[in-house]
Amino acid sequence: MAESIINFTRGIPPADVFPVKDLIECGEAALRRDPYVLLQYSHSGYTPLHEWLGGQYGIGPDQILTSNSSLEIFSFITQHLLSPGARAFVELPSYDRAITLLRRTGAELAGIPLEEDGVNLSILEEELGKNVPVLMYVIADFHNPMGVTTSLEKRKRLVALAEEYGFWIVEDAPYRKLRYLGQDVPSLWSLSPARVLHMSSFSKVLSPGLRLGYVVGPAETIASLSQWAVDSYIGPVLPTQGMVYEYCRRGLLESNIERLKQVYRPRLQAVLSALDKYIPQATWTRPEGGFFVGVTLPEGSDIVSLQKQAEGEGLKLTDGRAFFPDPADGNRFLRIPFCSLTPEEIEEGVSRLARLL
Amino acid sequence: MAESIINFTRGIPPADVFPVKDLIECGEAALRRDPYVLLQYSHSGYTPLHEWLGGQYGIGPDQILTSNSSLEIFSFITQHLLSPGARAFVELPSYDRAITLLRRTGAELAGIPLEEDGVNLSILEEELGKNVPVLMYVIADFHNPMGVTTSLEKRKRLVALAEEYGFWIVEDAPYRKLRYLGQDVPSLWSLSPARVLHMSSFSKVLSPGLRLGYVVGPAETIASLSQWAVDSYIGPVLPTQGMVYEYCRRGLLESNIERLKQVYRPRLQAVLSALDKYIPQATWTRPEGGFFVGVTLPEGSDIVSLQKQAEGEGLKLTDGRAFFPDPADGNRFLRIPFCSLTPEEIEEGVSRLARLL
């Protein structure tokens, strides 16, 4: 039987959700209105977009830096703040690309185990007692790869510890607006604007090809990061900043996010139902939004051999070890991204996975 | 008398040369044709653009990396190839932003004095005898800030030395297509494709706001740099890559470059004539293209005090010291960028300068 391949690997949006027509119109309108700014050098991105973002966060544009993706901003943060031998904390597991950028700086990484409601605070405090990090990288909303959301109680404790010990929390929040169930929890940044650098982007709520990310933080830190960015590339790509500004200015972003939630909510539900139905012997998180469900496979499973077997069953899996600073910790870990698959594809994928286990 | 300020500082194109209407049309056409590629994640930029660029250089797309500016590519090259204590050579003077990025890596910089026809080869060989660098950064065509072009003889010797001693030449060629007088000289890359990384961009020939740069080099080095880029930001901004590809595909780039040359040629001539007329006691280069004329002010001049006095005369000058690894070497150096000023403004600016000297 010829089966179509089901891809449980990259966390990308499905192409058919991009608002192509609106983006074309907005790109054109922006370039017509402001060509001599958008086609010229800038040092800090497109001011109207910075002002719009400032309005969203209730801050001035001097507290915002935009760049060509929030990952690039994280690269600037790590280069700017870390040096070889400095310490950095990540959740365990964490976003593989963030781990790669932290390692590049020669920093010493410590992973703080992530529970259903955020990191294990006893272990965090124990690690803080050993040596204070320069920064801790946290995805508090709909974690990549785990899917969990840090509770308000743990958020309060996290920022209190950051203030007490004097380290930065880098809050990566690309999925924050994509909540399909439950209630928003205040961002870490809103709880401690002086100790949190809050990153987000338009990749998950609009289009990743735009590579438009930003960071919110204290004005003087944003000024230093902006200088680092200027030294790295002079200024970010501008015509796409104009396009996104126009899209936001017309009030299209909120309705686009609502539309995405309608598409993604049943996909999340499909993963959870399929896991209940086909693989009850595994354990998994129950996310209320975002792109991922984190699955711990049953005892005795091995993600690497499973990945190989899965290829023969028309199923592509991600090697879960990449999300752990010590890869061996991820031998039984599987990240299931659900946004770019239909509920039917998701059920079929999980059933194929079940046959392999 | 109220005089308008004349700005002899940044090397930016005048806004009125941007082909706004064509760029809007091309951006729209590209997004209509290929929305699901241009709005999605990529790992390596827009393939049709890479193929078009490959055609220009007579190479495959595996020898090309595009990114959000050639400066950003240079940042990747420096991070990828250099480590603290490694050696790097620059021309003396050199592009200030390149010096900044080289310094960031902790590399030890040596400047090789630049003459009318390229670097002083005896001093280069002497420095090579002391310690071989990992790379040498060279702007062989219409140098920034000096304006000079390296002769064919010196180019041949430079690449022969790179091959003999085993170091990289990073050839930065953003101005190469903007030749107003004389004949093209073969690029360093064409003379030694195995030892030269050739960078260029669309900033000076189309629009800097696009931040679209690229590097040409050996396939395996490009593969390593591409991985560095992916780790840094996943992929570059794509809708603008689609816009530029469409612009090139329609055959508009060559005529745009011809148009720019018509605008810039008399501006170059205006600087040289005004220097002859007003400041014969200084020495300066006689560029055949590009954006800059490099001026060595008369004995006893000091660029810092001159810069301050100039403000009072309605003239903005760049501090020439930034172009020298040892700033003291630039005390008498002035870079005059001429592309964004009319011949009349240029003559007025040089005459104001003369009054100050």
- Altogether, the residues listed in chain B come to a count of 357
Is residue B74 pLDDT above 50, yes or no? yes
Query: What are the residue ranges of CATH 3.90.1150.10 in chain A?
Result: 6-17+254-356
Q: How far apart are the first and last CA of chain A?
A: 21
Structure tokens at A99: 């781990």
- For chain B, counts of helices (H) and of strands (E): 13, 13
- Rounded Cα–Cα distance for residues A266 and B181 (Å): 65
Contacts of B68 in chain A (CB under 8 A): 68, 211, 233, 236-237
Query: What are the residue ranges of CATH 3.40.640.10 in chain A?
Result: 20-252
Q: Which CATH class is domain B6-17+254-356?
A: alpha beta
- Rounded Cα–Cα distance for residues A35 and A47 (Å): 14
Give the right CATH number for A20-252 from 3.40.640.10, 3.40.30.10, 3.20.110.10, 3.40.50.10490: 3.40.640.10
Is residue A293 pLDDT above 60, yes or no? yes
Nearest to B75 by CA among A76, A224, A201: A76
Nearest to B30 by CA among B251, B252, B249: B249
pTM: 0.97
CB-nearest to B209 from A18, A38, A104 is: A38
How high is the ipTM of this complex? 0.96
Contacts of B49 in chain A (CB under 8 A): none
Contacts of A77 in chain B (CB under 8 A): none
Nearest to A11 by CA among A149, A140, A147, A137: A147
Residue of A nearest to B20 (CA): A35
Is residue A209 pLDDT above 80, yes or no? yes
CB-nearest to A209 from B39, B72, B233 is: B39
Cis peptide bond upstream of B186, omega within 30: no
Tell me the pLDDT tens digit for each residue of B108-154: 999 999 999 999 999 999 999 999 999 999 999 999 999 999 999 99
Tell me the pLDDT tens digit for each residue of A134-193: 999 999 999 999 999 999 999 999 999 999 999 999 999 999 999 999 999 999 999 999
CA of B156 to nearest chain A CA: how many angstroms apart?
A: 31
- Rounded Cα–Cα distance for residues A35 and B341 (Å): 19
Contacts of A79 in chain B (CB under 8 A): 104
Residue of A nearest to B229 (CA): A72
Contacts of B211 in chain A (CB under 8 A): 68, 233-238
Structure tokens at B29: 């056409």
Nearest to A281 by CA among A299, A260, A262, A308: A299
Under 8 Å CB-to-CB from B331, ≥6 apart: which residues? B301, B302, B303, B304, B320, B321
Per-residue model confidence (pLDDT) at position B1: 39
In a 3-state reduction of DSSP, which class is residue B229?
A: helix
Domain B20-251 = CATH 3.40.640.10? yes
CB-nearest to B237 from A27, A41, A68 is: A68
Beta strand pairing status for A6-8 and A315-317?
A: parallel
In a 3-state reduction of DSSP, which class is residue A7?
A: strand
CB-nearest to A234 from B16, B18, B71 is: B71
Beta strand pairing status for B213-216 and B64-67?
A: antiparallel
Per-residue model confidence (pLDDT) at position A1: 40
Name residue, tokens 């001049």: B301
Residue of A nearest to B84 (CA): A84
Query: What are the residue ranges of CATH 3.40.640.10 in chain B?
Result: 20-251
Nearest to A49 by CA among A298, A238, A305: A238
Query: Per-residue confidence at A294, pLDDT binned at 50, 70, 90?
Result: very high
